[in-house]
């Protein structure tokens, strides 16, 4: 990779285009230019996640669906490292660009690619070795445990490549290539759906095929997404990396809230899965899987809106345009609220239809359990959008301590508190766990914003 050099005429034009996008566009036009395609980009990815759940539930059945849901939190924990580096590097990159320090931005970008590949490989190796012990420790036995281990190990094998995908999306948005980020996620979703369906329906490869299809899709998207960076056609350029402990620390601190949010939420999901398995058996785990897949459709839209505006917020924060930061965040919070409340109404009013998306032949006890679970769970989205948008604000404005504090409470402390409070209600208490933890987290998020509004320049 070449040493950093003064920007060429083409590079100066890319720099000016980024400035016009982040600084000159009105907040309303910026929202529709950046956040709407960003939400659609995340939606296309989440649609594939939804299709993955449908394929497994409809083709492989209830037991395989339970196994995949049991194993998925550990896969997401590895993916969380990609988010850590992606979000953690995007913040200093955006702020450096806002200050006009392009050499620093390119160095952080180049170092982060190496960190992602190396860290993904290390975590994947650990997951491969420990997965049988983990599943046994959590109470999975027999066919359920075997399928869960198979699923996890396939993702572990591909992790040096797959973790990088969760950073590329951020880098494309920083470069102003918002439509390219959308196209890349659509490409990944289409490839994944086609490959996975073929492996499940025609090749009959079971959960092995489900995991392999997703990994092939992500790896293909990584190759396509990195190509313009490798060719030097983007605002960010690959240069000879200059690692320092301070750089690594800065990336880790800035991305820690996203990482802890992912890991802590998956730990909470593991604990809930164990409680569900002991309280309601594999059937309850399957129903919880439906709730998670439905949430996996809704949350990415909210995250997509917030994450797509992060580069603009970081750029203007670095340039000290605080009034513009406030204007952008008003659009961010308003849109997140609209999406959350809207989907809450849909899930509450049409629980049977949502259930049949995953299991068309659901009936009797399973159907009744799922309908009640979806109605309870729908309350989640009335409030959960607020801590998500607040986390994005804290991260983009270089307030990692606030972001980490809210992340840990949001993803781990609140669910565990809710679990203890609602335990006497049995399965109903487990379905209400996420709504109550979302309400508690929204209260904490509001308290932090009010307490630190001067530091956040929100007055």
36-81 confidence digits (pLDDT tens): 887 887 777 777 777 777 888 788 887 888 888 788 888 888 888 9
Model-level pTM? Answer: 0.71
Nearest-Å Rg of the Cα atoms of the chain is 21
- Residue 128's pLDDT is 95
- Distance, in Å, from the CA atom of 63 to the CA atom of 57, rounded to the nearest integer, reads 9
Q: Which residues contact 347 (CB under 8 A, 6 or more apart)?
A: 294, 354, 374, 375, 377, 378, 381
Helix (H/G/I), strand (E/B), else coil: 384: coil
- Residue 9's pLDDT is 66
Structure tokens at 325: 């930061």
- Residue 308's pLDDT is 82
Q: Number of helices and strands (H, E) in the chain? A: 17, 0
- Distance, in Å, from the CA atom of 387 to the CA atom of 409, rounded to the nearest integer, reads 10
Q: Which residues contact 57 (CB under 8 A, 6 or more apart)?
A: 65, 286, 290, 358, 359
- Residue 330's pLDDT is 93
- Distance, in Å, from the CA atom of 31 to the CA atom of 275, rounded to the nearest integer, reads 41
Residue located via tokens 């350029």: 237
Rounded to 5 degrees, φ, ψ at 454 are -70, -45
- Residue 1's pLDDT is 43
- Distance, in Å, from the CA atom of 224 to the CA atom of 168, rounded to the nearest integer, reads 10
Residues of the chain with pLDDT under 70: 1-11, 360, 362, 459
- Distance, in Å, from the CA atom of 442 to the CA atom of 383, rounded to the nearest integer, reads 6
Spell out the alpha helix ranges (H) of 175-244: 178-197, 206-230
> Could you give the count of Cα atoms lying within 13 Å of 73 in the half-sphere of its Cβ?
23
- Residue 264's pLDDT is 72
Q: Measure the CA dihedral 74/77/79/82, to 10°.
A: -160
């Amino acid at each position: 990779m070449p040493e950093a050099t003064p920007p060429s005429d083409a590079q100066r034009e890319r720099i000016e285009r980024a400035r016009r996008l982040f600084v000159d566009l009105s907040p309303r036009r910026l929202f529709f230019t950046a956040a709407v395609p960003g939400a659609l980009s995340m939606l296309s990815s989440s649609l594939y996640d939804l299709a993955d759940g449908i394929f497994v539930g409809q083709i492989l059945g209830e037991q395989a669906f339970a196994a995949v849901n049991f194993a998925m939190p550990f896969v997401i924990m590895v993916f969380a490292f990609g988010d850590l580096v992606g979000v953690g590097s995007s913040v200093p990159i955006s702020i450096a660009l806002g200050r006009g320090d392009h050499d620093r931005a390119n160095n952080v970008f180049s170092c982060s690619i190496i960190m992602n590949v190396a860290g993904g490989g290390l975590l994947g190796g650990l997951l491969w070795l420990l997965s049988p012990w983990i599943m046994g420790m959590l109470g999975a036995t027999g066919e359920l445990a075997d399928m869960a281990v198979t699923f996890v190990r396939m993702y572990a094998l591909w992790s040096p490549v797959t973790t990088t995908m969760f950073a590329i999306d951020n880098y494309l948005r920083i470069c102003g290539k918002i439509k390219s980020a959308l196209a890349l996620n659509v490409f990944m979703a289409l490839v994944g759906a086609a490959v996975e369906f073929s492996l499940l329906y025609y090749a009959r490869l079971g959960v092995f095929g489900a995991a392999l299809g997703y990994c092939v899709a992500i790896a293909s998207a990584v190759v396509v997404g990195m190509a313009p960076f490798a060719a030097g056609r983007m605002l960010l350029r690959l240069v000879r990396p200059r690692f320092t402990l301070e750089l690594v620390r800065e990336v880790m601190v800035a991305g820690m809230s996203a990482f802890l949010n992912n890991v802590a939420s998956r730990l909470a999901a593991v604990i809930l899965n164990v409680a569900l398995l002991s309280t309601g058996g594999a059937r309850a785990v399957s129903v919880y899987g439906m709730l998670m897949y439905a949430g996996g459709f809704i949350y990415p839209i909210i995250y997509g809106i917030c994450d797509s505006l992060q580069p603009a917020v970081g750029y203007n924060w670095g340039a000290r345009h605080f009034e513009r930061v406030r204007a952008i965040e008003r659009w961010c919070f308003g849109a997140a609220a609209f999406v959350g409340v809207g989907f809450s109404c849909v899930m509450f009013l049409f629980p049977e239809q949502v259930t049949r998306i995953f299991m068309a032949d659901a009936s009797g006890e399973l159907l009744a359990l799922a309908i009640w679970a979806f109605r309870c769970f729908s309350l989640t989205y009335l409030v959960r959008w607020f801590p998500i948008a607040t986390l994005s604000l804290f991260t983009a404005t270089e307030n990692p301590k606030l972001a980490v504090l809210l992340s840990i409470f949001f993803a781990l402390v609140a669910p565990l508190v809710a679990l203890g409070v609602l335990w006497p209600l049995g399965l109903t208490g487990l379905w209400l766990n996420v709504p109550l933890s979302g309400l508690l987290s929204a209260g904490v998020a509001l308290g932090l914003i009010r307490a630190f509004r001067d530091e956040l320049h929100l007055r």
